[in-house]
Amino acid sequence: MHKEFLMGNAAIARGAIAAGLNVISGYPGTPSTEVLETTAKCNDGSLYVEWSVNEKAALELGAGAAYSGARTMVTMKQVGLNVASDPLMSLAYIGVKGGMVIMVADDPGPISSQTEQDTRKFAEFSKLPCFDPSSVQEAYDMIQKAFEYSEEYHTPVLFRPTTRVCHGYASIEVKDEDECKKNAPEGFVRDPSKWVIFPRLSFAAHGAIEKRNVCLSKVFSESGLNPVTANGGRRGIATHGISYTYTMEAVKALGVSPEIFKVGTPFPFPEEAAVEFLTANGGLEEVLCIEELDPVIERGLIFVCGKYGLKTKIIGKLTGHIPPAGENTCASVKRAVSQFMGVELTDEEKAEDVPPLPVRPPVLCAGCPHRASFFAVKQAMKGKKSVFCGDIGCYTLGNAMPLDMVDTCLCMGAGVNITQGIGRIEPDTNCFAFVGDSTFFASAITGVINAVYNQADMTLVVLDNSTTAMTGHQPHPGTGRTMMGQVVDKVSIEAVLKGIGVKTVETVDPLKLDAAVDCVKRVSAEKGVKAIIFKSPCAVLIKGKAPAVIDSGKCINCKKCINSLGCPGLVIKDGKAAIEASLCTGCGLCSQVCPVNAIGGGENAE
Amino acid sequence: MQNNILICGVGGQGIVLTSKLIAASAMAQDIPVMSAETIGMAQKGGSVFSFLRLGDGLYCPMFPEKTADLLIAFEPAEAVRMLPYLKEGGKVIVNTHPIMPVTAALKGSSYNGSEMIEYLAKKADDLKTIDGEAACKEVGSPRALNMVMLGQAVKTGVLPFGIDAVEEVMKKTVKPQFVEMNVKALRLEI
């Protein structure tokens, strides 16, 4: 063993490698992305690592590898599990041979997600065992146990950290290389009675799963993963994940000593451990459940109280003692614990005379080609009845003022179908769908096929910046690079669209504003399904040109550049528009917007 | 012995590397470390922070308000935003050069950071202001701000190690061509 300073996600990757990992697949999504990236960085050539085209593909690939005896991990964020839920629900019945851990990162807040769904509930729904680590060290240790349970019980298991564990850092104990396990997969052994799902198999498997989960509840109770800290009182706190660490800090700071039950395996719920906790010291009077997302432990304890006839009062989210939505914090937990334990909390006085602080909502970067694409479509559609359906990625930020170009956003790949639905009700509307290149491959292609087949009237706008930018620049089928370091043939978006039967597909550089506006006017006027590919690399990935320069002699101070583009590279200094040189990439868009040609430099300087 | 350190600023200022170097310097002295920072969508032009904790008996990488021993702020308004985390008598180092957000530019705001510095001067007992722009010019690189701030942070004496320890770790972390510039920034006399 030795010490290393690791991010939670890196610890999960390293733990999986220490457990003998053979194959890892996934789709990028905050806060899960760094698990697969770390694995790729640590790959000595013995692992197979891939970014799959989406979570469903990743999980199915992982299943095949696990059928063949490989230790397999599949990574995604919580909404990714919705995409992968079809294979997941069936795989629960089929089971696996090699250990298979499905790493699903939840995002209380939510900080960068569409939903606050709780994967612990998905575990219950799919009947799969679930592990919930509370710290970086525990994540490293627990993922290794998760592989062991998975292999021992021939079932995929869910491993569910949350953002603060995924993105927290700590100096932790990790195994030396010679302490790591190695797994040699046996290979796929043909057995249709085992690997082919049929109603008869599912009936038998269902019964076996229910029996196994009763057994696992007992095993988990004795596993040390659900520890009860006895302090001798009649009041208890049940908690999990990062909230456990907030609780421990609060208990220490307040000098109180409740009984503490930390639930590391929320499903199957460790009933026996719960009974031990609830009946301590002649029976607890009251238990506060401190959880994020859904009240899973709270309902579990209420169920146990009913089943075993216990009189303990259970409070938490369901009784309004813990907020129903959003993240817990050190402060919110300390407040809840102090109230529960009857300790006075010295009121934090609020500072009153704070000057108004500038708000910093996330915006498209300076030089981002998406800004130019949105602006071109906005110019071209001025005065025309239009709807702009957005999608998931950096370009969701096209909703911000002054662009204001995102009318809908739902989930990965939804925009292309939503715009068809709006068009069916309002046929006189110019229906647009914006989709990024990575999202196009992940889940928009079927939507385009739907549009072509059903004779929709719409314009697909592919914002192709040749990367998966939002999650930190992962490669995808259009980039020609894989996580194994190969350079391969790129999958062409244009060829895919043509193959589907989209007759007009035009590719244009959005930073050439006039040509881009013309293209949008011309293409959108056609009937049927047509596509524009705005192709320009992500501004973060290319070396910027010299920053733009404003000629103060020519500038009439109309601020049109600022008010139409909202670029972070354009600021106001001494009441006049100015270039923030540390941010400006010299993309040249503002110089094409300026009515008096006062902005030079950048691209025009060359 | 525990230290709570809060580093804050705006995405792109080099806060994450600063946090990593403090952590690595502490680890080189066998001091346990935990940290947490903003990642992802919120980074794009948004407020960025890094909580850093050094010492024994830590459970959680974050800490509550009024418990930071040291606030290292790369931007004046971000210093004010995070000031509630400072404990009574805690120290503040702030870069006086403001970064204007797009929303402020759109509203025609005249934000220039000066009222933030005035507020900090009133509220913080131990405040050190750094003209980051001037310091970077002196070092000769606009990218030197994080090392300038880190060097000044070490000078407060709050951190359980000296500038030599940081320099050693930095040399192992950054690309060789940046070492000289970073040494100059770390050791800049202000």
Residue B35 and residue A363: Cβ atoms within 8 Å? no
Minimum distance, in Å, between the CA of residue A331 and any CA atom of chain B = 6
Residue B45 and residue A362: Cβ atoms within 8 Å? yes
3.10.620.30, 3.30.565.10, 1.10.443.10, 3.30.70.20: which CATH number matches A548-605?
Answer: 3.30.70.20
Residue B36 and residue A360: Cβ atoms within 8 Å? no
Rounded mean pLDDT, A405-425:
98
Kindly tell me if the per-residue pLDDT of A354 is higher than 50: yes
Do domains A369-535 and A548-605 share one topology? The answer is no
Determine contact: B133 vs chain A, CB below 8 A: no
> B20: nearest CA in chain A?
A5
> A334: nearest CA in chain B?
B64
Contacts of A330 in chain B (CB under 8 A): 60, 62-64
Q: Which of A170, A364, A583 sits opposite B34 (nearest CB)?
A: A170
Minimum distance, in Å, between the CA of residue A138 and any CA atom of chain B = 11
Beta-carbon neighbour count of residue A203 at 10 Å? 11
Residue A504 makes CB contacts below 8 A (sequence gap 6+) with A523, A526, A530, A531
> B23: nearest CA in chain A?
A5
pLDDT at position A197 is: 96
pLDDT higher at A596 or A571 = A596
Residue B62 and residue A361: Cβ atoms within 8 Å? no
Summary mean pLDDT of chain A: 95
Residue A358 and residue B101: Cβ atoms within 8 Å? yes
pLDDT at position A107 is: 97
Q: Which of B34, B41, B80 sits opposite A354 (nearest CB)?
A: B80
For the stretch A183-198, pLDDT in tens is: 999 999 999 999 999 9
Contacts of A133 in chain B (CB under 8 A): none
A103 φ, ψ (degrees, to nearest 5): -90, 110
For the stretch A317-344, pLDDT in tens is: 999 999 999 999 999 999 999 999 999 8
Residue B27 and residue A363: Cβ atoms within 8 Å? no
> B19: nearest CA in chain A?
A169
Minimum distance, in Å, between the CA of residue A438 and any CA atom of chain B = 16
b/e sequence B23-36, b meaning 16+ C-beta within 10 Å: bbbbbeeebbbbbb
B128 φ, ψ (degrees, to nearest 5): -125, 120
Contacts of B114 in chain A (CB under 8 A): none
Tokens of A315: 């409070």
Contacts of B119 in chain A (CB under 8 A): 353-355
pLDDT at position B43 is: 58
> B10: nearest CA in chain A?
A360
Question: Which residues, listed in sequence order, are joined to residue A168 by a DSSP beta bridge?
Answer: B36
> B52: nearest CA in chain A?
A169
pLDDT higher at A521 or B11 = A521
Rounded Cα–Cα distance for residues A449 and A499 (Å): 10
On whether the CB atoms of residues A90 and A115 are closer than 8 A, the answer is no
pLDDT at position B105 is: 81
Question: Which residues, listed in sequence order, are joined to residue A403 by a DSSP beta bridge?
Answer: none
Minimum distance, in Å, between the CA of residue A545 and any CA atom of chain B = 16
Summary mean pLDDT of chain B: 92
Kindly tell me if the per-residue pLDDT of A606 is higher than 50: no
Residue B59 and residue A135: Cβ atoms within 8 Å? yes
Q: Which of B33, B64, B103 sits opposite A170 (nearest CB)?
A: B33
pLDDT at position A39 is: 98
Inter-chain Cβ pairs, chain A and chain B, closer than 8 A: 154
For the stretch A455-478, pLDDT in tens is: 999 999 999 999 999 888 999 999
Minimum distance, in Å, between the CA of residue B96 and any CA atom of chain A = 15
For the stretch B49-91, pLDDT in tens is: 999 999 999 999 999 999 999 999 999 999 999 999 999 999 9
Q: Does domain A369-535 have CATH number 3.40.50.970?
A: yes
For the stretch A268-288, pLDDT in tens is: 999 999 999 999 999 999 999
Determine contact: B65 vs chain A, CB below 8 A: yes
- Compute the Cα dihedral for A243, A244, A249, A254 and give only its sign: positive
Give me the torsion for CA of A48, A51, A55, A56, rounded to 10°: -60
Mutation choice for B interface testing from A360, A563, A584 by most B CBs within 10 A: A360
pLDDT-based confidence at A309, cuts 50/70/90?
very high
Task: State the fold for domain A228-341.
Answer: Rossmann fold (3.40.50)
On whether the CB atoms of residues B74 and B81 are closer than 8 A, the answer is no
> Percent of chain A, pLDDT > 70?
98
Contacts of A170 in chain B (CB under 8 A): 32-35, 61
Determine contact: B110 vs chain A, CB below 8 A: yes
> B118: nearest CA in chain A?
A355
> A335: nearest CA in chain B?
B64
pLDDT at position A545 is: 85
Kindly tell me if the per-residue pLDDT of B31 is higher than 50: yes
Residue A168 and residue B36: Cβ atoms within 8 Å? yes
pLDDT at position B104 is: 83
For the stretch A42-63, pLDDT in tens is: 999 999 999 999 999 999 999 9
> Percent of chain B, pLDDT > 90?
74
For the stretch A63-90, pLDDT in tens is: 999 999 999 999 999 999 999 999 999 9
A411 φ, ψ (degrees, to nearest 5): -155, 175
Residue B110 and residue A242: Cβ atoms within 8 Å? no
What is the value of pTM for the model shown? Answer: 0.95
Residue B40 and residue A31: Cβ atoms within 8 Å? yes
For the stretch A343-353, pLDDT in tens is: 988 766 666 78
Mutation choice for A interface testing from B35, B87, B102, B169 by most A CBs within 10 A: B102
Residue B101 and residue A164: Cβ atoms within 8 Å? no
Residue A216 burial (CB < 10 Å; 0-12/13-18/19+)?
buried
On whether the CB atoms of residues B36 and B62 are closer than 8 A, the answer is yes
pLDDT at position A605 is: 41
Q: Which of B45, B65, B83 sits opposite A360 (nearest CB)?
A: B45
pLDDT-based confidence at A580, cuts 50/70/90?
confident
On whether the CB atoms of residues A568 and A584 are closer than 8 A, the answer is no
Residue A329 makes CB contacts below 8 A (sequence gap 6+) with A246, B62, B64
For the stretch B110-134, pLDDT in tens is: 788 999 999 999 999 999 999 999 9
Cα separations in angstroms, B96 against A361, A420, A584, B156:
22, 51, 21, 18
Chain B, 31-50: which have a CB under 8 Å from a chain A CB? 32-37, 39-47
> B114: nearest CA in chain A?
A355
Kindly tell me if the per-residue pLDDT of B178 is higher than 50: yes
Contacts of B47 in chain A (CB under 8 A): 360
> A583: nearest CA in chain B?
B12
Q: Which of B44, B65, B111 sits opposite A331 (nearest CB)?
A: B65
- Class of B2-186 per CATH? alpha beta
Mutation choice for A interface testing from B10, B17, B29, B44 by most A CBs within 10 A: B44
Residue B44 and residue A365: Cβ atoms within 8 Å? yes
For the stretch A219-275, pLDDT in tens is: 999 999 999 998 889 999 999 999 999 999 999 999 999 999 999 999 999 999 999
Rounded mean pLDDT, A123-143:
98
Say if strands A235-239 and B47-55 run parallel, antiparallel, or are unpaired.
Answer: unpaired
pLDDT at position A604 is: 43
A391 φ, ψ (degrees, to nearest 5): -150, -165
Domain positions in chain A are 2-197, 228-341, 369-535, 548-605
- Class of A2-197 per CATH? alpha beta
pLDDT-based confidence at B39, cuts 50/70/90?
low
Whether omega before A268 lies within 30 degrees of 0, making that bond cis, reads: yes
Residue A206 makes CB contacts below 8 A (sequence gap 6+) with A93
Contacts of B83 in chain A (CB under 8 A): 351
B115 φ, ψ (degrees, to nearest 5): -70, -25
